[in-house]
């Protein structure tokens, strides 16, 4: 079993989770207005202080602490408290997800409609955990910050109220999003299109804290970040090494998501937020930070470095990941290209590759053109990590021909949107009834676009070439557009 693998659920459970689609669609329709019109108010509340420096209530409009609108954190609104770690609990608290496992909690967006909106509500935002999420008392929680010979304890009170507050729109994507499209299949959660979401994260710039305590923040330094979810001393600690130049540029200690306190499953009370980079770098339940002159490496870090040095490495063409003390390139695709040329170790999953997802029409749907102009509006989202989206093209004939879509992003006052996706729309005028295959293909500002397909393992590709993404042993970073196509039936 790979380090990222979760045991398969039974066929009966898999079937049952897909039978909830009707209820999920009702939920998604109910959330549309809240997602588009309500988030600006939530973000405004996050930065609003009362006389004693505390946030004005919690931005929830209710008396609970978790933003779910109920007293027990389950979202069921009654006196019955469902047990965490069960499928019933997770499906009740997150009705917009397809649940892959309940203990640990893993689920992705159930419907493509999630990707027709700019903001992803927490109930539709994917969850990727390796252990059951810990229920941490915010008042008692501290982050141990190690600075060479000095160690300080950061309380949530200090993090929230002793430094400036920033809000960042960040497209969080599981590194394994699209894993189910590899052939032959690879181990791990069978993510399809839905292990990605875009939310407004509010918190404290890490740069402010490091500068306050006189940390060495020069280029070439690293920040180790570890979570508090490890069940016992016999288990591996989930931790990542983040290059200091990225830390100082835009990383925050996030304690709010879309204007509400983080949910337990999304990292309450605080997580590291690394805008534009794969989700594995965004450590939840953050409990340790250490300034270092290298990545986690060697016997001293053996319990910590598994998900830095072994997992989340692009193991292509039968190669295995060797451990390294440092690297100088953090663009994942550039790392892949250099590794294929023999000039770089196998890529570490940092900056996200360019990608897009169609939100409407949905899979296997029937659509009718608008009466006003005879057109069908195709909408979706596209992102490219630290790079900007230059162009999105749409094909309605299975990739035979392409036309440019219109890009747009809502104005978000006081929010840094550099790490977020862009929305796109394309007005399509189908000429006759029938079945159509719709694809979207994004291009980043460096001119790199999505390849068509995922190569078979036997092709032994080492990087993206010949319009194909290489077969990768962990199922990571797949950005091919063909697996994400949508089949629709047009009724004129």
Cβ neighbour number for residue 466 with a 10 Å cutoff: 10
Exposure string (b/e) for 346-363, b if CB count within 10 Å is 16 or more? Answer: bbbbbbbbbbbbbbbbbe
CB-CB contact of 115 with 382 (8 Å): no
* Res 430 pLDDT > 60: yes
* Res 259 pLDDT > 70: yes
pLDDT digits (tens, 9 = 90+) for 397-418: 999 999 999 999 999 999 999 9
pLDDT digits (tens, 9 = 90+) for 344-356: 999 999 999 999 9
**Long-range contact list for 451-459, CB < 8 A, 24+ apart?**
451/479, 451/480, 451/481, 452/399, 452/480, 452/481, 452/482, 453/480, 453/482, 453/483, 454/181, 454/182, 454/183, 454/478, 454/480, 454/483, 456/183, 456/184, 457/183, 457/184
133: pLDDT confidence band, cut at 50, 70 and 90? very high
CA-based angle 391:446:340, to the nearest 5? 125
- In the 8-state DSSP scheme, what is residue 307? I
Cβ neighbour number for residue 399 with a 10 Å cutoff: 18
CB-CB contact of 109 with 37 (8 Å): no
Residue 107 in tokens: 């689920």
Strands 453-454 and 468-469 turn out to be parallel
Provide the 3-class DSSP secondary structure of residue 294.
coil
12: pLDDT confidence band, cut at 50, 70 and 90? very low
* Res 262 pLDDT > 90: yes
Task: Please enumerate in sequence order all residues whose Cβ is within 8 A of that of 436, keeping only pairs 6 or more positions apart, or say none.
Answer: 396, 397, 430, 487, 488, 489, 490
Residue 311 in tokens: 């997992």
Q: Please give the pLDDT value at position 50.
A: 33
CB-CB contact of 46 with 242 (8 Å): no
Tell me the β-bridge partners of 171: 198
Task: Please enumerate in sequence order all residues whose Cβ is within 8 A of that of 62, keeping only pairs 6 or more positions apart, or say none.
Answer: 69, 70
Q: Please give the pLDDT value at position 80.
A: 74
Share of the chain above pLDDT 70, in %: 84
For range 166-193, the mean pLDDT: 97
- Gap between the Cα atoms of 295 and 304, Å rounded: 11
Tell me the β-bridge partners of 422: 382
446: pLDDT confidence band, cut at 50, 70 and 90? very high
Alpha-carbon torsion 5, 10, 15, 21, what sign?
negative
- 3-class DSSP string for 414-468: CEEEEECCEEEEEEECCCCCEEEEEEEEEEECCCCECCCEECCHHHCCCCCECCE
Task: Please enumerate in sequence order all residues whose Cβ is within 8 A of that of 19, keeping only pairs 6 or more positions apart, or say none.
Answer: none
- Gap between the Cα atoms of 450 and 442, Å rounded: 6
- Whole-model pTM: value is 0.87
78: pLDDT confidence band, cut at 50, 70 and 90? low
* Res 218 pLDDT > 80: yes
**Long-range contact list for 460-465, CB < 8 A, 24+ apart?**
460/316, 460/317, 460/318, 461/316, 461/317, 462/316, 462/317, 462/319, 462/336, 462/339, 462/340, 463/316, 463/333, 463/336, 463/337, 463/339, 463/340, 464/333, 464/336, 464/337
Q: Could you tell me the CA-to-CA distances from 268 to 73, 193, 263 in Å, in that order?
A: 12, 25, 5
Residue 133 in tokens: 């999420």
- Gap between the Cα atoms of 398 and 179, Å rounded: 21
CB-CB contact of 69 with 123 (8 Å): no
For range 429-434, the mean pLDDT: 95
Q: What length does the chain have?
A: 492
CB-CB contact of 95 with 27 (8 Å): yes
Q: Please give the pLDDT value at position 318.
A: 86
Return mean pLDDT, the chain: 88
């Amino acid at each position: 079993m790979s380090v990222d693998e979760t045991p398969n659920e039974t066929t009966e459970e898999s079937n049952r989770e897909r039978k909830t689609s009707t209820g999920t669609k009702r939920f998604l329709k109910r959330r549309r207005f809240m997602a588009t019109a309500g988030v600006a108010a939530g973000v405004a509340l996050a930065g609003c202080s009362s006389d004693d420096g505390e946030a004005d209530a919690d931005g929830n409009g209710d008396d609970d602490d978790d933003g779910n609108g109920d007293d027990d954190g389950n979202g069921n609104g009654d006196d019955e408290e469902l047990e965490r770690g069960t499928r019933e609990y997770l499906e009740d608290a997150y009705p917009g997800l397809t649940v892959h496992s309940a203990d640990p909690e893993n689920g992705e967006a159930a419907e493509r409609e999630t990707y027709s909106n700019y903001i992803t509500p927490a109930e539709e935002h994917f969850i990727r955990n390796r252990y059951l999420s810990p229920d941490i008392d915010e008042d008692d929680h501290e982050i141990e910050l190690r600075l060479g010979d000095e160690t300080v304890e950061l309380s949530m009170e200090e993090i929230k109220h002793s430094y400036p507050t920033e809000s960042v729109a960040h497209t969080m994507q599981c590194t394994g999003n699209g894993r189910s499209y590899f052939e032959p299949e690879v181990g791990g959660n069978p993510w399809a299109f839905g292990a990605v979401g875009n939310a407004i994260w509010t918190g404290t710039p890490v740069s402010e804290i490091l500068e306050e305590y006189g940390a060495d923040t020069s280029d070439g330094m690293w920040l180790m970040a570890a979570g508090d979810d490890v069940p016992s001393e016999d288990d591996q600690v989930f931790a990542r090494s983040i290059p200091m130049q990225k830390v100082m540029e835009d990383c925050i200690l996030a304690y709010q998501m879309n204007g509400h306190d983080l949910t337990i499953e999304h990292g309450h009370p605080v997580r590291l937020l690394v805008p534009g980079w794969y989700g594995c770098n965004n450590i939840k339940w953050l409990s340790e930070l250490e300034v270092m002159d290298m990545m986690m490496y060697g016997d001293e870090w053996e319990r910590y470095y598994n998900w830095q040095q072994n997992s989340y490495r692009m193991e292509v063409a039968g190669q295995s990941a060797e451990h390294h003390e440092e690297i100088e390139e953090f663009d994942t695709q550039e790392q892949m290209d250099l590794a294929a040329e023999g000039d770089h170790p196998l890529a570490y999953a940092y900056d996200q590759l360019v990608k897009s997802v169609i939100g409407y029409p949905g899979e296997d749907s029937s659509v009718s053109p608008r009466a006003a102009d005879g057109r069908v509006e195709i909408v979706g989202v596209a992102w490219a990590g630290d790079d900007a989206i230059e162009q999105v093209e749409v094909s309605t004939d299975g990739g035979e021909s392409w036309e440019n879509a219109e890009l747009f992003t809502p104005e978000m006052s006081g929010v840094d949107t550099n790490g977020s996706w862009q929305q796109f729309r394309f007005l399509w005028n189908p000429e006759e009834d029938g079945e159509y295959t719709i694809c979207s293909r994004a291009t980043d500002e460096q001119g790199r676009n999505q390849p068509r397909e995922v190569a078979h393992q036997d092709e032994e590709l080492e990087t993206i070439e010949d319009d194909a993404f290489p077969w990768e042993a962990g199922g990571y970073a797949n950005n091919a557009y063909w697996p994400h196509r949508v089949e629709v039936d047009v009724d004129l």
